[in-house]
Structure 1
Amino acid sequence: MKMNRRTAIALLAAFGQAAASKKLYSLAGADRANPKGRLATSAERDLAHGPFEPSWNSLKAHYKTPDWFRDAKFGIWAHWSAQCQPEEGDWYARRMYIQGDSAYEYHVKTYGHPSKVGFKDIDMIWKAEGWNPEGLMDLYQAAGAKYFMSLANHHDNFDNWPSRYHSWNSAKIGPMKDIVGTWSAICKRRGIRFGVSNHSAHAWHWLQTAYGYDAEGPMAGVRYDGFTNSDRLSNGLNPQDLYVGPSPNLVIPDGVTSIAEAKAWHDKNDRIWDENPPCDDPEFVNTWFLRCRDLLDTYEPDMIYFDDTELPLGQAGLDITAHFYNSNRARHGGNLEAVVFGKEFVPQHRGAAALDLERGRSNDILPIPWQTDTCIGDWHYNRHVFENHTYKSAKTVIHMLADIVSKNGNLCLNIPLKGDGTIDSDERKVLDDLAAWMPTNGEAIFGTRPFKVYGEGPPDIVSTGNFNEGKGRPYTAEDIRFTTKDGDLYAIALGWPNDGKLRIKSLARNSKLLPAEIIRAVMLGSSTPLVMERNSEALVLTLPSQKPNDIAYTFRITPNRL
């Protein structure tokens, strides 16, 4: 299939305009700009000085996960951008340009055809008029969050702060607010660790659907608004800076005449999850680095999350990680307190940054602290999840948290905000239920370390990895998770035994896991003394007649320390 001459000329013109419109940013301490078409070197990128060099060997040799992160265990994430405005769930900015997708159908019905009304217009419609960050942070802290993650930008390439290097940002259009800066100030005032998430390394391929067209119907063949020129916008912004510019190999060619054929083309070509720098747009990498450095240097977060396999965009990811580690270390008197998250590290790179498992868990204790990131629903707000009442319950979240913490991990939980910045009643109930459980049982979570084994019960996770949540079995009273702190062992039972007797087989008499005498066992949240028997098969605890809650049950077990 080939493009006709008119489309090819338009594509080349738009690509040239996109490249020409991107500023050749001067770097701090230098008067020169990066020559067009060449990646900036590490030295030109003006990295912070320190022991961390921008290489895997150096990062791995010098990095150690800070204790604050190991103690924190639970964080909340506001994965919030203009993609929440339509309330149609994940990846709206991409899906609205794919005919036959539910997001496309909603967009045409609600806003208009994407050749005339594109995602650039959703960015402008998004106003965040109901956002009360102080009130939300009250709920997050009550629910037990010890750190908070703000979405800085998503694959939609829109920055949630007054970016010096990207005009499509929340301070210039849409909300007209510094979203990242507002969250940052609140966290620092309250003493909550603050993080940012940067997903924009994928924008160059993820947004290529904006240059597509309808395969069927009255608008068949009419290219979408990705080809809009800057002179068509009254505010002077250039859509090419948002949509990145068309990549000739990723823009669907002319001649596709069915929705099914178009979908097959997208799935094969531009649906790829490409981790490499774009070969035909080196300025994208330069701009990405400068935007990310601006984000880190301006707000000085404790964490940055990259939605990438390992680190983003080749050398640029190594550069920004070294810069972040060194600048953070300098701010803390030589003590490193920074955390960088990446995914699927190969063995020789493990330990250079923290492993993140998206919607996934580990099947055993991992030697290096790690994190699960997940959401109670869609990442971006989806009203249908609320209408169908299908959010994860607080019980599900706490069971996940207990399992993750027992395996040396943390849980970062997204509570999706509506476009206006509010949450719905079902989300509020999840937070309230977490807030009811945490004060009594949190001592078995926060500040703890793993025991010799993570727990007991039949395996429910086959292997460690992303996207394995929801594939396990329901938990029962056989499922117990262990943590330790200050010489005590905590056992968190994920079910209530029918006969009122909890049997902890790992702690049987003469157990090699805990050979010392057990002098006391207390059920948190209950004043009823426990009858305790330690026989050759298990430690048997006779439970009170009344459950202290309906979620999970925590026991503090104190061995003889002599």
Structure 2
Amino acid sequence: VAPFNREIQKFNPDEWAELFQDTGARYVVMVTKHHDGVLLWPSEHTTPHRENYRANRDLVGDLTTAVRARDMKMGFYYSGGLDWSFNETPITNRELVYDTIVQTPEFIEYVDLHWRELIDKYQADVIWNDIGYPLNAPLQELLAYYYNTIPDGVVNDRFGQVTSKDLPEDEEVVKNPETGHSDFTTPEYSSYNRIVEKKWEANRGIGFSFGYNRIEGPDSYLSAEEAVRLFVDIVSKNGNLLLNVGPMPDGTIPELQVKCLQGLGAWLKINGEAMFDTQPWETADGKTAAGIPVRFTQKEDTLYATLLDTPDEEQISLKALKASPQTVIQLLGHDSPLNWQQNGNDIEVSLPASLITAPAHVLKINPAPVLGH
């Protein structure tokens, strides 16, 4: 902890917040305590099993101030089940992830006090627990306290008071066993292949690690193009993307991670209206006659059809869509409406000759067409 506390004096929360804002983020979720048990805020309640086991700087408060100054929401991740300062049992299989959740009365009081501290001191917009929660913890009282304090706050699905016996045998996505209340689900390094009615949030690192891993190189990280296509696919199915940033010891974000975020942000500056404040349409997936995947979102009477590649031809055909004669089709980033015609069950659209290569291109169609057959 001592080397960590020396390095964090260099951390610049405004640089982080500015990068997140430029990426297009609407909210930030900060790790306040991971499984190692180190606290990243000056809590009044520290582990009795380690001395000086917390940051000597209010990292949570500093980043919260910087994020909210840029009109983003602030949430907090907290490992409320695992804490290796209380239980050092090595985790050698998935079952032990849940069977090493600390169950002692001492720990139950400890995590409850921490959550209430984060709620009261920092006004958490999101409380994001991980793994699970002690079986005998007064969870319903905690959640009631949270909603009474932050009426529009939201809670993730990892407060399950579970053991390994609650692990599902078959999983559509990789997520923790869920019991009780949650506002959204959190598939990890995985995603749904269909529209899901309940709000969900895919979470993953830019690389293969939740944190900085110095052996990860370019092949381990999402490229900006991959991040754009991943985000588009998730949003079309009623999801959010929580993309983990793993900083180096001095708080700087590695260049390859920055490059990914900047590329995603540059795309969203042009095409963000097709992603933010939208809803899933009747179907998430479509394709062009040439086989380019398409993802759909809607906003009031407008349909956004996002092509997940750059077409080779200047004319594309959107399969199984029927538009009214009054329909106007625009390519986001271009001012003039596009020429189009209905050809049976398909819409044929003429694209600009100057179309640049991009991870995805968005057609704005108003009024929204209907599905053809």
Scaled by the length of structure 2, the TM-score of the pair is 0.84
Distance (whole Å) between structure 2 residues aligned to residue 457 and residue 560 of structure 1: 17
Deviation of residue 526 (structure 1)?
2.6
Structure 1 residues 55-83: Cα deviation after superposition (integer angstroms, max 9, x where no partner): xxxxxxxxxxxxxxxxxxxxxxxxxxxxx
> What's 1:456 paired with?
286
Distance (whole Å) between structure 2 residues aligned to residue 312 and residue 283 of structure 1: 11
1:244 and 2:97 correspond: no
The aligned runs of 1:148-547 (5 Å cut-off) are 148-166=28-46, 175-203=55-83, 207=84, 243-244=85-86, 250=89, 267=92, 272-274=96-98, 278=102, 281-308=104-131, 313=135, 315-329=137-151, 337-343=152-158, 349=180, 352-377=182-207, 378-386=209-217, 388-457=218-287, 477-508=291-322, 516-517=324-325, 519-527=327-335, 529-547=337-355
Which one has a bigger Cα radius of gyration?
Answer: 1
Structure 1 residues 132-160: Cα deviation after superposition (integer angstroms, max 9, x where no partner): 11012111101101111111110111111
- Kindly indicate which of the two structures has a greater share of residues assigned to strand: 2
Distance (whole Å) between structure 1 residues aligned to residue 330 and residue 261 of structure 2: 27
For the 8 Å contact 1:389–1:426, the answer to whether it is kept is no
> What's 1:559 paired with?
367
1:125 and 2:3 correspond: yes
For the 8 Å contact 1:533–1:541, the answer to whether it is kept is yes
* SS of equivalent to 1:546: coil
> What's 2:24 paired with?
144
For the 8 Å contact 2:17–2:70, the answer to whether it is kept is no
Instruction: Figure out how many residues of one structure are paired with residues of the other and give that number.
Output: 347
Deviation of residue 420 (structure 1)?
0.6
* SS of equivalent to 1:183: helix
Deviation of residue 319 (structure 1)?
3.1
Letter in 2 for 1:274: Y
For the 8 Å contact 1:526–1:548, the answer to whether it is kept is no
Letter in 2 for 1:340: V
Distance (whole Å) between structure 2 residues aligned to residue 414 and residue 502 of structure 1: 36
Instruction: Show structure 1 runs of 5+ residues with no match.
Output: 1-122, 208-242, 252-265, 330-336, 459-475, 510-515
* SS of equivalent to 1:180: helix
The change in CA–CA distance for 1:550 and 1:411 in structure 2 (over 3 A counts) is same
Q: Sequence identity of aligned pairs in percent? A: 28
Distance (whole Å) between structure 2 residues aligned to residue 533 and residue 341 of structure 1: 45
> What's 2:171 paired with?
none
Distance (whole Å) between structure 1 residues aligned to residue 55 and residue 368 of structure 2: 59
Higher relative contact order (CA 8 A, sep 6+): 1
For the 8 Å contact 1:381–1:417, the answer to whether it is kept is yes
CA-based RMSD of the aligned residues comes to 2.8
The change in CA–CA distance for 1:436 and 1:477 in structure 2 (over 3 A counts) is farther
Moved more, 351-360 or 488-497: 351-360
The change in CA–CA distance for 1:272 and 1:304 in structure 2 (over 3 A counts) is same
For the 8 Å contact 1:277–1:285, the answer to whether it is kept is no
Letter in 1 for 2:120: D
* SS of equivalent to 2:25: coil
> What's 2:14 paired with?
134
Deviation of residue 167 (structure 1)?
5.4
* SS of equivalent to 1:555: strand
- Kindly indicate which of the two structures has a greater share of residues assigned to helix: 1
Letter in 1 for 2:96: I
Letter in 1 for 2:234: I
Deviation of residue 448 (structure 1)?
0.8
Letter in 1 for 2:154: V
The change in CA–CA distance for 1:276 and 1:382 in structure 2 (over 3 A counts) is closer
Distance (whole Å) between structure 2 residues aligned to residue 338 and residue 500 of structure 1: 47
The change in CA–CA distance for 1:136 and 1:489 in structure 2 (over 3 A counts) is same
The change in CA–CA distance for 1:347 and 1:429 in structure 2 (over 3 A counts) is closer
* SS of equivalent to 2:57: coil
Scaled by the length of structure 1, the TM-score of the pair is 0.57
> What's 1:220 paired with?
none
For the 8 Å contact 2:38–2:55, the answer to whether it is kept is no
Distance (whole Å) between structure 2 residues aligned to residue 560 and residue 391 of structure 1: 36
The change in CA–CA distance for 1:554 and 1:427 in structure 2 (over 3 A counts) is same
Distance (whole Å) between structure 2 residues aligned to residue 389 and residue 277 of structure 1: 34
Deviation of residue 545 (structure 1)?
2.4
